[in-house]
Each structure stands twice: as structure tokens, then as C-alpha cells.
Amino acid sequence: MEPSKLKARSIALAKEAQNLATIISHATLDKTCTRIVTSLLRLKLVAELDELVTDIEQKVQHEEEEIQTFRFLNQGKEVWVEFSKIDRGIGYNIVKLRSESEFFVSEMRHDDPSLRYVKPSKCANLTQKLRRDILDGLYDEELQTSVLKLVYNTLK
């Protein structure tokens, strides 16, 4: 091969190599950015979940203290967490129901499927599992969803 053709081929291969290097570096940067953003969104969602759990725990504790303080008025009652669909999305309340209300709660779900009742201990277990699943990437498609909606959907 002639030196001029060899030099032209060498220049062409160098340009092609440079173009490939640019494409590869941008692809890596895009993937890195995506991983960083996804990790940050996961952490944000977990922080929101932690805030929700703290709020629920405080309200549950307040209701349990009220049951203990006013035993006569609250005889046979226990604390439940109620999640429901409302106009603005999902809401929750801390309610006192009779201890034997499990049958009542399951019947209410048939009457109004938008209501979800759960005992505080089960709510704590579900939110801990949800927390782990978010960090493990199982909810990456729902990172823009509200925490209340994720909790509500896990109670189906």
C-alpha cells in the first residue's frame, strides 16, 4: 500500500476511533447520570416513607395513650390505621375500633373497596418491606408516585 493511502487510512481510523470514544463516554455518562438520579429518587421516596411512618407512629401512640387514660370510655377498643381514597389522592386516619372488629373490617372492604384498614404492627411491617423494596429497585417505575399511594397499593 502506498504511504499516502496508508496515511489517509490511518487518519480515517483515528477519526472513527475518536468518534467511538465520544459515543462510549456519553453513553457511560448517561447511564451514570441515570443511576445517580434513580438512587436519589429512591432515597427521597424512602425519606418521605420514613416521615409518614414517624407521623403514623406518633398518632398511634397518642390514641393508645388515650385508650389507656380513658379505659372506661374505650373499653374493648384498639387502634387501627385507615387508608382511603380522597379527592386529592390518598389519605389516612388513626381510628379506634372494637377489638373484635376484624370481621367488621373485612366486611367494610367489600362494601367500600377504597378503604384499607390495617393494625399498626402490620402497617409497620409492610412499610419496612416497602422501604427495602424501594431501595432494592423494585419500585423504580413508580419513583414519582406519592408515598401514600404506594402504601395504599401494598394493602390490597
d(CA 74, CA 80): 14
On the 0-12 / 13-18 / 19+ scale of CB atoms within 10 A, 13 is exposed
Domain boundaries, the chain: 45-154
Per-residue tens of pLDDT for the chain, all 156 residues: 566 776 777 787 778 777 767 776 676 667 778 888 899 999 999 999 999 999 999 999 999 999 999 989 889 899 999 999 988 889 999 999 887 766 777 666 667 788 888 999 999 999 999 999 999 999 999 988 999 999 999 987
Q: Does pTM surpass 0.75?
A: yes
